Structure formats: C-alpha cells, structure tokens
Structure 1
Amino acid sequence: MIEAVVFDAGETLTSDDRYWAAWADWLDVPRHTLSALVGAVVAQGRDNADAVRLLKPGIDLAAEYAAREEAGRGETLDESDLYPDVRPALASLRAAGFRVLVAGNQTVRAGELLRGLNLPVDALATSGDWGVAKPTPEFFERVVRLAATAPDRIVYVGDHPANDIAPAAAAGLRTAHLRRGPWGHLWADSPETAAADWHIDGLDDLLPLVSGDRTLMHHAARRPTNHR
C-alpha cells in the first residue's frame, strides 16, 4: 500500500528552460546551440554538463557557477518555472493522506529556491543537501529515510529512466514514469521505462493510480482466507 509519493524536481516539477538559457547567456552562446548540445550528450548517455564542456573546453564549472552567483546571475526559480499541474496534484495527494516529498539532483541553492516556493509538500531535499546524487543507491537510501516508511510503500515519480526509474526500482521503491520534458519523451519506450509500475502523461494522473493501489491492498488485506 502506497503511503508516500516522492517527486524528482527537474522536468518533473520544474522546467529546465530557464536553467539552460541562463547558462547560454552567461557563456555568450546561442540558447538553441546549448539546448541542442544538452539533448545530444544526454542521448549518448553522457552527463548533461558535457554540453557546456563542448562549447568551452577546459571550463571549470564550479568556478563558473560561483562567478555567476557573485555577479548576481546565479540560479533562479519562481512560480513561472513550475509546470501548471504541480500545485494542484501535490495538494490533492496530501489531502488524500499521502506523505508528499521532493528529492532530486539539484544544488543546495536550488533546494533553497524550491523551498521558497512553499510547495504543498511534507519535506524537500536535494543531492546537494545530502552529498549523494542519483542514480547511486545511497541517494535512494536517503529517500527511504526521508519518507519514513518501507520502500515498497513509496512511489518515486520522475522522467529519467536511468536516474529515476531504474535505481528507484532497484532500491525496492514503486515507480511512476512521467512522459514530460526531453528525457521523458526520448526514453518513453526504453526497457527501464517499460518496467515502471505506472506511466503517466501528467501529475494529475497519479492520484487515481496510487489511490487505486491503496484500495486494492486494503481489500486484499480484508479478504477472508479459505481453509481447506
């Protein structure tokens, strides 16, 4: 029976458009060029930061990140970065009695910005906060501790098969693949995605599915046993 629903952040709750546009503007390269390179390197199974390295070989990303922050051009998130279904879907899940959490691969600063949006969640953490990142088992161990229940009573919702669906399932969590953003569409038919417990096109699809699972398990627990 599902008790907790944990959401990835980037391209699940928030659009990455502003993030990559800001990097392109800082590097003084066309936004479309960087966006296309991000798609290309990720399709090759590489880290999306390699797109920046292709444009600026030898770049020190940590130093550039710090320089952006110092110049007042660092990470920014506001209400306009949220997908429209986020607030109503999260609020509906909480109202239905589920513990609602966010845990994704973001910086400490991104975590601060997300908390500033006052989303209807019980807790929010990032890989920067924890010092471990997806798809490592340690990240999902932290997810289980944050959810404070058994792994098979948690559903992890994300768009990325290799970072979200496969490692969450390996950790014993239930999974919901979200067909959203470039990665959610690019790998919608991958074997890792096919193995998800549920497939959704929007966060509004989630409540009926997890509520149905709860009802099914409740009835199964009450079903009388036949003794022969």
Structure 2
Amino acid sequence: MPGAPGVDAVIFDWGGTLTRWHDIDFHAESLALAQAVVGHDDVEASRARLHEAGATIWGRSRDHQQSSTVADLFTEAGLEHDPELLRHYYEFWEPHTLTDPAVAPLWESLRADGVRVGVLSNTIWPRAFHERIFERDGVAHLLDGDVYSSEIPWTKPSPHAFRAAMDAVGATDPARCVYVGDRLFDDIWGAQNAGLRAVHVPHSAIPPEQVGHTEGDPDAVAHDLADVADIVAAWR
C-alpha cells in the first residue's frame, strides 16, 4: 500500500477471530441461562423468553449499536436472576472460548516489532469473564488494552467503539491502526468507517440475522491468523 502510514496498533475482534468459529446450539444456551432465573418455575417458558430477549438485544446491537449486559438480557425477558447461578451459562460457553494457538506467537511478534495489541469485542459478558479466558490461555500479559461492549454504551460498528479501543491501547491516529475480525459488517465496514485499516479472517459462518446492512471490502485477508504478522509488517 504505497504511501500508507505505519502501524501503531493492531486491535482484534474476539469470538470467531481469536477463538475458532463454532456453531452454537442457542436452544441449549438459553436453557443454561434459564438455570439462573428465580421465582419462575417453568424452565421452558423462561428459556423461550430469554431466547427472544437475546434476539432483541442483539438486534439493537446490529441496528442501533446499542450495548447490553447479561443483566439487561434478563430485564428484557421480564425475569429476575441470581448472578451466582450464571455459572451454568458460563460453563455452557467454556468449550467455545478457547484461544486459537496462533494468538500467542502472533501477539509476541507484533509487540516485538513495537506494535501495540488490543481487543474490541461485542459482548454481553463482563470484563472479568474475558480476562479469565485470556489468563487461562496464557495470553493476558500480551494485551496492551481491551474493551468490551458490555462496559461502554456502544457496539461495533459504531466509530465510538473503535475509538474506545484505540484509547485503551494508547493510539491516537486511526490511520495508523489495524482492526482484525471475522465479520464484514461489524468488523470490516465498522473499522474502515472509523478510519482504521481492516483485515478479514473469513472463517466464520455468520447467521443471517446477524448480518448488517453493509459488507466492507477488507484492506487485506488473513486466511490463517498467523498471516496477520506479515500483513502488518508490509504496512509498516
């Protein structure tokens, strides 16, 4: 890319990018969530209400870039919950949270070249859960900053979300930042609309209801996550 500025930071999506894509049984997911409901004995009815609430809050994320939390999900469903009982929900997700083995050497390579490493994820989960994942998989010490939509007002593709991630890694110029993600709307179009360059990791089967109004044209494609190092090196 002749004449392009260098690269100060590379910011990554989480699910489907730093983790390998998995198809999710959303019926089983909402059943696991329903285990946390209090004062409502009909588990199947709770499951159905939570499933519908999930579609609503993720629709808000897609269409209005409005963030939500796990507590918001129960509120939308009109159900009270015991946070201690959410362990069943997080246990359901555990097999789908494993960090790709390519992440540690990639992040080490980027940092060795003086490039800061960040994460920006659309998620209803709290920061602590994501931090436990990175600690468990031995990569937390390689992160310069991470932002989760559950703790800010916006979700991707809002430019405000990308700006929050840049702030977290101490970057100021979006033209000197790169975003890596698996979704052409949230990640690629969103990053480019915020002024960043965007690398697509095309391994995920995005459900039709999660596809946004626009598909971005990535600046580069990484068919293997490890390819990001060479892409960034060429831009530097």
Give the TM-score of the pair, scaled to structure 1: 0.68
Given the superposition, is the C-alpha separation of residues 11 and 70 from structure 1 closer, same or farther in structure 2, using an over 3 Å criterion?
Answer: same
Superposition deviation, residue 178 in structure 1: 0.7
Given the superposition, is the C-alpha separation of residues 181 and 95 from structure 1 closer, same or farther in structure 2, using an over 3 Å criterion?
Answer: same
Counterpart residue number, 1:210 = 232
Alignment length (residue pairs): 190
What code does the residue aligned with 2:59 have? D
Whether 1:167 and 2:190 are equivalent positions in the alignment is yes
Whether 1:126 and 2:148 are equivalent positions in the alignment is yes
Superposition deviation, residue 121 in structure 1: 1.2
On the 8 A contact 2:155/2:161 being kept in 1, the answer is: yes
Given the superposition, is the C-alpha separation of residues 97 and 197 from structure 1 closer, same or farther in structure 2, using an over 3 Å criterion?
Answer: same
Given the superposition, is the C-alpha separation of residues 16 and 197 from structure 1 closer, same or farther in structure 2, using an over 3 Å criterion?
Answer: closer
2:84 to 70, 83, 86: 70
Structure with the greater alpha carbon radius of gyration: 1
Given the superposition, is the C-alpha separation of residues 104 and 49 from structure 1 closer, same or farther in structure 2, using an over 3 Å criterion?
Answer: closer
Task: Tell me the alpha carbon deviations over residues 13-36 of structure 1, each in whole angstroms, 9 at most, x when there is no partner.
Answer: 12464784533545688xxxx9xx
Counterpart residue number, 1:157 = 180
* In structure 1, distance between residues paired with 2:178 and 2:131: 21
Given the superposition, is the C-alpha separation of residues 90 and 144 from structure 1 closer, same or farther in structure 2, using an over 3 Å criterion?
Answer: same
* In structure 2, distance between residues paired with 1:86 and 1:163: 21
Counterpart residue number, 1:222 = none
On the 8 A contact 1:108/1:129 being kept in 2, the answer is: no
What code does the residue aligned with 2:101 have? P
Given the superposition, is the C-alpha separation of residues 92 and 19 from structure 1 closer, same or farther in structure 2, using an over 3 Å criterion?
Answer: farther
Counterpart residue number, 1:221 = none
Whether 1:47 and 2:77 are equivalent positions in the alignment is no
Given the superposition, is the C-alpha separation of residues 124 and 49 from structure 1 closer, same or farther in structure 2, using an over 3 Å criterion?
Answer: closer
What code does the residue aligned with 2:165 have? V
Task: Tell me the alpha carbon deviations over residues 107-145 of structure 1, each in whole angstroms, 9 at most, x when there is no partner.
Answer: 352x21222223221111101122221122221221232
Secondary structure of the 1:88 match is helix
Given the superposition, is the C-alpha separation of residues 66 and 132 from structure 1 closer, same or farther in structure 2, using an over 3 Å criterion?
Answer: farther
**1:183-194 correspondence to structure 2 within 5 Å:** 183=206, 192-193=215-216
* In structure 2, distance between residues paired with 1:15 and 1:67: 30
- Aligned structure 1 segments of 4 or more residues deviating by more than 4 angstroms: 15-21, 24-29, 63-66, 76-80
Superposition deviation, residue 69 in structure 1: 3.6
Superposition deviation, residue 48 in structure 1: 9.9
Counterpart residue number, 2:121 = 104
Counterpart residue number, 1:115 = 131
Superposition deviation, residue 70 in structure 1: 3.4
Give the alignment's Cα RMSD to 1 decimal: 3.7
Secondary structure of the 2:185 match is helix
Superposition deviation, residue 61 in structure 1: 3.1
Tell which deviates more after alignment, 152-161 or 13-22.
13-22
For structure 2, the 5+ residue unaligned runs are: 1-5, 35-42, 63-71
On the 8 A contact 1:6/1:100 being kept in 2, the answer is: yes
* In structure 2, distance between residues paired with 1:149 and 1:133: 20
Secondary structure of the 1:113 match is helix
Whether 1:5 and 2:10 are equivalent positions in the alignment is yes
On the 8 A contact 1:68/1:74 being kept in 2, the answer is: no
On the 8 A contact 1:94/1:121 being kept in 2, the answer is: no
